[in-house]
Structure 1
Amino acid sequence: MKQETTHADSVQLAYAGILGKATTLGIALIVAGYAIYIFQLIPLSVPIEQVAGHWHLRAAEFHQQLDAPLGWSCFAAPGYGDTLSYITLIYLGSVTMLCLFVAGIAFFREKNGIYTAISFVQLLVLIFAAAGIVSGGH
């Protein structure tokens, strides 16, 4: 049986290259952030005991009673173990946006206007959704 070979184009290689490096870094950051949180290497904004005692609450009530960082406010207090751990998760979720940006640049270099526009429109939608400007299903 003859083995088929496939060839990736420059956009696929650029996307995959960034995806591989950024996700590897993201996993390392998550492990480090989790270790910092669990071993309390830096102070927590909300002690673990208080978190466990308030799990039965709705998210809004939880944040109100514990004065826990909410949404993007975690970037205002990165010196706490729990918020630092949360920021690492945000980074990993943002990798897709970084990959779309790189793909858009690669499409632009290839003078592929339609795919350049699609990449950047997707990127804008993700940015607007992350910022809370657009949302769906609510």
Structure 2
Amino acid sequence: MNTPPSTNALQQQAEASRYALLLDWGTRVGVVALFLSFAAYLTGLLSPHVPLEDLPGLWNLPVGEFLQRTDTPTGWGWLALAHKGDMANLIGIALLAGCSLAPLLGLIPLYLKRRDHAYAAICFLVAAVVLLAASGVLTGGH
């Protein structure tokens, strides 16, 4: 004899389903962005920031010198070069790295509706940590 699922089990199922749905869509968007940016680079649709013929002479350089010689920015400076074929792939990487943010924020309304303020706060704090880490504020002088 099957017993009906408890209210708590149904709430957990709703939370898990929302989290999984948002995470699934986030990863799909990130992978599509990676694929499209790579295809645009391969086909020449987007010209590279560093010409392909210059790369063999630059590969053996220390990172600081490489960045200086190629005029490549650090941190979020790559956004200014996102229209370049060799930098556009960073859009997909950033989307994949941050795709847990939307599911975490998507859980907050469910927890608040349930008056589960502790879990809502935890989701908010984890999202804040993800944003803080992505901001580059805590780079330690690098």
TM-score range, shorter chain: 0.7 to 0.9
Report the equivalent of 1:12. 16
Aligned to 2:105: 101
SS across alignment from 1:114 = helix
TM-score (norm 1): 0.83
Please report how far the alpha carbon of residue 55 of structure 1 lies from its aligned counterpart in structure 2 after TM superposition: 2.0
Tell me whether 1:45 sits opposite 2:49 in the alignment.
yes
Residues 99 and 52 of structure 1: CA distance in aligned 2, closer, same or farther (over 3 Å)? farther
Percent identity over the alignment? 28
Runs in 1 of length 4+ with deviation above 4 angstroms?
5-8
Unaligned runs of 5+ in 1: none
Q: Please tell me whether Structure 1 or Structure 2 has the larger radius of gyration of its CA atoms.
A: 2
Contact 1:14–1:106 (Cα < 8 Å) also in 2: no
Count of aligned positions: 133
Using a 3 Å threshold, how does the CA distance of structure 1 residues 87 and 46 change in structure 2: closer, same or farther? Answer: same
- Cα distance between partner residues in 2 of 1:90 and 1:53: 28
The alignment's C-alpha RMSD in Å is 2.3
CA pair 135-9 structure 1, distance change in 2 beyond 3 A? farther
Secondary structure in structure 2 of the residue aligned to 1:83: coil
Matched residue type, 1:99: P
Deviation, structure 1 residue 81: 1.2
User: How does the TM-score come out when normalised to structure 2?
Assistant: 0.81
- 1:110/1:87 CA distance change after superposition, 3 Å: same
* Superposed CA offset, 1:19-47 (max 9, x none): 11111121111111111122221111111
CA contact (8 A) 2:41 2:86 kept: yes
Kindly provide the amino acid, as one letter, of the partner of residue 62 in structure 2.
R
Following superposition, the deviation at residue 131 of structure 1 comes to: 0.9
2:126 corresponds to 1:122: yes
Q: Counterparts of 1:92 and 1:68 in 2: how far apart (Å)?
A: 22
Give, in whole Å, the separation in 2 of the partners of 1:105 and 1:59. 44
Shift in Å at residue 121 of structure 1? 0.6
**CA contact 2:27–2:96 (8 Å) conserved in 1:** yes
The answer to whether the aligner puts 1:66 opposite 2:70 as a matched pair is yes
CA 1:95–1:45 in 2, change beyond 3 Å: closer, same or farther? same
Q: 1:90 aligns with which of 86, 90, 94?
A: 94
CA deviation digits over 1:83-106, x for unaligned, max 9? 211112111111011221112232
